[in-house]
Structure 1
Amino acid sequence: MIRSLIRQKNRIKLLQRFNFSSFSDAFTGAMHESRRSDLASGARYSLRQLEAFRAVAALGSAARAAHELGRTPSAISMALRELQSALGVALLQRSGRGLVLTTAGERLLPRADELLLRAGDLAQALGDARLPAVPLSIGASRTIGATLMPELITAFRQRHGVERIRLSIGNTEEVLSRVASFELEVAFVEGEVTDPGLEREVWTRDALVIFVRRAHPLLRTRTSAPRVSPAELIAWPWALREQQSGTREAALRAAASIGRIRIGVEATDNETLKRLVLLDDWIGCLSRRVVAEELARGTLVELEVSSPAVRRALGRDFLMVTDPQRYRGAAVTRFVEFARAWRGRRAAPAPGSG
């Protein structure tokens, strides 16, 4: 037992000042011939330098990386200079007001990310605070982020005691691009995943609702359930989410069978869109999870669509997405397994159900 502990602590010491000569083949093609022998001879650099590099690659500036890591911008800049000097190649370059990866930086990033995640696993196993505390990076599209992520993350943290979790919210395209760039370890989206390099699995089901405010003219002549025809849906302007939103894509697919709808207003978040529909005679379309409270209070009213094709199309999948090229550390492995088990308790009502 004691010998095993000593071996693990020796591994940590090696990681804290690691020789990356084994990674040279990954990016020597981007280096000048005169510098290759320096890298092959065993340039040394630290986890803190790699941590700074990864943060700047994700956030686009030394200032934001410094805020994220609790360091000063000058310390981040120095770490980057030392890392690039050790490798003999530029890893970042300025583009507009930010920093972006060079070809060599793109090649190094997944390997640096893997090493930091492995170091985090060691730190957790030994309780060693000297190694970087790597937060669990999760992404979610706006509907999932607001309705399901708070409960999922809280339940996971209470079960496993994870200290740091970073949740990033955006529309589907934004979140997927951050998974592909290694900024996020796992993401949950409702839109289509077109990148063949990403792995996706159905996480849970969702149902969209077409709704209006209670004072909408469509409801004035109806005393029973507000069942509407395709012609009535086309006649009134719609309030939808922005382009590249998974909810918008699903709404347009559902409406495709009835003809061309008129989009009168777009909003980049669900709360603003609900407010717009509450104040004017728009037709809205959002997840049932998003409008559940307003439907229960009666301030918003669900429209029952007479078209079976539309009703079927209002159902959709929520997807869990990862990048198989990225090393999966212990924390994200536990989170993915936990999310798979948890999803069965969060199934949505079927389209058209109250």
Structure 2
Amino acid sequence: MAHTVTHTQEAGSLVDLPRLRRFLMVAEMGSLTRAAVMLDSTQSALSLQMGALERECGGRLFHRTGRGVTLTELGERLLPRARSLVRDADQLQQDMRSAAGIPHGDVVLGILPSTALTLVPHLLRKIAKHYPNIRLRVLEGSNGQIDEWLAQGRLDIALLYRYGRSKAPNEEALTEMDSWLVGKRGDALTRNPTVPFIRLDRLPLVLPNLPNGLRVTLDQQARRKNITLAIAVEVDSIPIQKELAIQGFGYGVLALHAVQRELEAGALQASRIVSPGIDRYVTLASTTRHPGTLAGRVVIKLLREAMSQNVLNPAMSAAKVA
């Protein structure tokens, strides 16, 4: 039998924001135990609260399994409404504070692993010093994941890589970066400052899986140059890509800031790919699923400033790069 969440219910007892927040946490974690830890509660107390919410909804919201919980059909229908109610309440609170000119509230940033290590500490320092009422929440993922989270409204803003300038109205290119061929210490090919693209012919490469934007761009250029890309290992994790390059399993193709520490330590070498170069744009995107906030606009301003200060492109000597 189908269950519905009525307008009367939504307007009445279901608008218990703390309870809805707990419901959203359980749905996100897929586990009462993990959600209780995140909420600084106990599993038994959280289970009682979810049971009360189920009685108000007139049906079960979760299937209990040996591995945790999953949403029922009723739970799936409640999920977007609960997100909307909680988001609207948060927005109202932020708007009230913003009316006094005080940036306040959560800002959810989606970011790539290769940029997070450098950029997130920089942002947090700026926010702690100048905007203590802003709480930055960070979700790390691949380009594809971040695009999906933006479309779902789970993010406020995001930093992405685009290979070619984006024409989306909610995106702006902040900076352009080269791509570098990364090899182990002592490697002859990456000892040079630059490497022509055709030298990638049949070179063992450690690259992310398709449909990653870098892979698509490399494949397109390889066809134009009539060369063959020999994929030694397909792995999406940048830390694993770097470790495999260090151990000599193959060459990575990465942005320079992603290997800054390894270059400085002498564990890796990097040579800029040229003729043609593989240009990547760091793009700032905003969700279209809900309005922006003053706090979000502040974080956007800080991100623009960070790019203008070249935070992701630290100056490094030629000896460290090659």
TM-score calculated relative to the size of structure 1: 0.69
Change (3 A) 1:122 1:37: closer
Contact kept, 8 Å, 2:163 with 2:217, in 1: the verdict is: no
Pair 1:287-2:251 in alignment? no
Contact kept, 8 Å, 2:206 with 2:233, in 1: the verdict is: yes
CA deviation profile, 1:74-100 (whole Å, cap 9, x unmatched): 333333333343344655556874423
CA deviation profile, 1:139-167 (whole Å, cap 9, x unmatched): 21111212322212322232201464332
Residue in structure 2 matched with residue 176 of structure 1 by the alignment: 147
Change (3 A) 1:37 1:266: closer
Counterpart Cα distance in 2 of 1:347 and 1:164: 21
Counterpart Cα distance in 2 of 1:323 and 1:229: 36
Contact kept, 8 Å, 2:115 with 2:257, in 1: the verdict is: no
Contact kept, 8 Å, 2:162 with 2:280, in 1: the verdict is: no
Counterpart Cα distance in 2 of 1:250 and 1:112: 41
Pair 1:57-2:5 in alignment? no
Residue in structure 2 matched with residue 7 of structure 1 by the alignment: none
Q: CA deviation at 1:234?
A: 1.1
Q: Which has the higher helix share?
A: 1
Residue in structure 1 matched with residue 310 of structure 2 by the alignment: 346
Residue in structure 1 matched with residue 288 of structure 2 by the alignment: 324
Contact kept, 8 Å, 1:267 with 1:273, in 2: the verdict is: yes
Q: CA deviation at 1:237?
A: 0.9
Q: Tell me which amino acid in the other structure corresponds to 2:124.
A: I
Residue in structure 2 matched with residue 185 of structure 1 by the alignment: 156
Counterpart Cα distance in 1 of 2:193 and 2:304: 37
Residue in structure 2 matched with residue 147 of structure 1 by the alignment: 118
Question: Unaligned stretches of 5+ in structure 2?
Answer: none
Counterpart Cα distance in 2 of 1:226 and 1:109: 53
Q: CA deviation at 1:251?
A: 4.5
Counterpart Cα distance in 2 of 1:235 and 1:122: 56
Q: CA deviation at 1:304?
A: 5.2
Counterpart Cα distance in 1 of 2:196 and 2:245: 17
Counterpart Cα distance in 2 of 1:111 and 1:229: 48
Q: Provide the aligned length of Structure 1 versus Structure 2.
A: 305
Residue in structure 1 matched with residue 48 of structure 2 by the alignment: 78
**In the alignment, which of 204, 211, 231 is matched to residue 175 of structure 2?**
204
Counterpart Cα distance in 1 of 2:203 and 2:172: 36
Counterpart Cα distance in 2 of 1:188 and 1:122: 25
Counterpart Cα distance in 1 of 2:260 and 2:220: 22
TM-score calculated relative to the size of structure 2: 0.75
**In the alignment, which of 231, 246, 256 is matched to residue 263 of structure 1?**
231
Change (3 A) 1:148 1:37: closer
Counterpart Cα distance in 2 of 1:155 and 1:255: 42
CA deviation profile, 1:17-72 (whole Å, cap 9, x unmatched): xxxxxxxxxxxxx745xx74853884454211121122223322322222222222
Counterpart Cα distance in 2 of 1:292 and 1:278: 13
Q: Tell me which amino acid in the other structure corresponds to 2:207.
A: L
Counterpart Cα distance in 1 of 2:219 and 2:72: 36
Residue in structure 1 matched with residue 132 of structure 2 by the alignment: 161
Question: Unaligned stretches of 5+ in structure 1?
Answer: 1-29, 127-132
Counterpart Cα distance in 2 of 1:304 and 1:37: 59
CA deviation profile, 1:101-140 (whole Å, cap 9, x unmatched): 74422440342232341365379679xxxxxx96433221
Contact kept, 8 Å, 1:57 with 1:100, in 2: the verdict is: yes
Contact kept, 8 Å, 2:118 with 2:311, in 1: the verdict is: no
Q: CA deviation at 1:330?
A: 4.1
Pair 1:111-2:84 in alignment? yes
Counterpart Cα distance in 1 of 2:71 and 2:236: 26
Residue in structure 2 matched with residue 237 of structure 1 by the alignment: 204
Residue in structure 1 matched with residue 245 of structure 2 by the alignment: 277
Counterpart Cα distance in 1 of 2:204 and 2:188: 12
Contact kept, 8 Å, 2:109 with 2:155, in 1: the verdict is: yes
Counterpart Cα distance in 1 of 2:22 and 2:46: 6
Q: Tell me which amino acid in the other structure corresponds to 1:166.
A: R
Q: Tell me which amino acid in the other structure corresponds to 1:278.
A: I
Q: Tell me which amino acid in the other structure corresponds to 1:76.
A: L
Q: CA deviation at 1:189?
A: 1.9
What CA RMSD, in Å, does the superposition of the two structures yield over aligned residues?
Answer: 3.9
